[in-house]
Chain A
Amino acid sequence: EDQVTQSPEALRLQEGESSSLNCSYTVSGLRGLFWYRQDPGKGPEFLFTLYSAGEEKEKERLKATLTKKESFLHITAPKPEDSATYLCAVQGYGQNFVFGPGTRLSVLP
């Protein structure tokens, strides 16, 4: 059975304090690993897709990396507007997306 865990559950950072979020997964053949950002009461916003170990993607202050067992979302010099829940999802050959529980990020000014 495909499984995804994320850590930490919640993270509080000061503005400018860089950090990383972790997504660990077990899947029967990885088709893709996806990162989303979700603001309260809104739908998830797509950030990145990673397909194979060693792959990296960047967007503004965010950088996603992938190994065979986990993915990291690195946040460099975060701003208060980066505060959100960050969701990781994997898709194996079973086709369905399996979401992790998310990391709630708060960036304090």
Chain B
Amino acid sequence: DTEVTQTPKHLVMGMTNKKSLKCEQHMGHRAMYWYKQKAKKPPELMFVYSYEKLSINESVPSRFSPECPNSSLLNLHLHALQPEDSALYLCASSQDPYNEQFFGPGTRLTVL
């Protein structure tokens, strides 16, 4: 089973809201990732968790806060977002940081 699931599929939020994106995988992968993708652009890496520890933070604004409760789950907490944060947010996982990544279907986020 090479499936990564993400919820919700769509999210609309105001700039003062607090919301969370969720990601889950049951492949026993030990690395998980959050990417942001704007229209007609490639995915941009936001965060990497390796063995449940945040190993890379690509200078993402503090209004995005990742959390890895266990090796199967990954959350992205959102607070005080800006309209320019509207994008497709993708979660991915890999067996370890040095293997191919498998992506979830994404959450389409719209910030009003």
Which residues of A come within 8 Å of B, CB atoms? 31-32, 34, 36, 41-46, 49, 87, 89, 91, 95-97, 99-102
Decide yes or no whether B34 CB sits under 8 A from chain A.
Answer: no
Q: How many B residues touch A, CB cutoff 8 Å?
A: 24
Q: Which residues of B contact A95 (CB under 8 A)?
A: 56, 97-98
Q: How many A-B residue pairs have CB under 8 A?
A: 50
Docked Cα-Cα span, A34 to B56, in Å, equals 20
Q: Is the interface of B mostly helix, strand, loop or mixed?
A: loop
Determine if A31 and B42 form an interchain contact, defined as CB atoms under 8 angstroms apart: no
Q: Are A32 and B100 in contact (CB under 8 A)?
A: yes
B42: which of A41, A42, A43, A99 is its contact (CB, 8 Å)? Answer: A99
The CA-CA distance from A91 to B99 in the complex, in Å, is 9
Q: Does B66 contact A (CB under 8 A)?
A: no
Stretch from B14-22, B67-75, B78-86, B101-109 forming part of the interface with A: B101-109
Q: Which of B4, B41, B43, B102 has the most CB of A within 10 A?
A: B43
Instruction: Say what secondary structure dominates the interface of chain A.
Output: strand
Say whether A31 contacts B98, CB under 8 Å.
Answer: yes
Question: Which residue of the partner chain, among A32, A41, A45, A102, contacts B103 with CB atoms under 8 Å?
Answer: A45
Bound-state Cα–Cα, A99 to B90, Å: 14
Residues of B within 8 A of A101 (CB): 41-42
Residues in B with CB closer than 8 Å to A87 are 42-43
Residues of B within 8 A of A (CB): 2, 4, 6, 41-43, 45, 48, 56, 58, 88, 90, 92, 97-106, 108
Q: In the complex, what residue of chain B is closest to A40 when comparing beta carbons?
A: B39
- Please determine whether B48 and A46 come into contact, CB atoms closer than 8 angstroms: no
- What are 5 of the A-B contact pairs (CB < 8 Å)? A43-B92, A43-B104, A46-B101, A96-B48, A96-B56
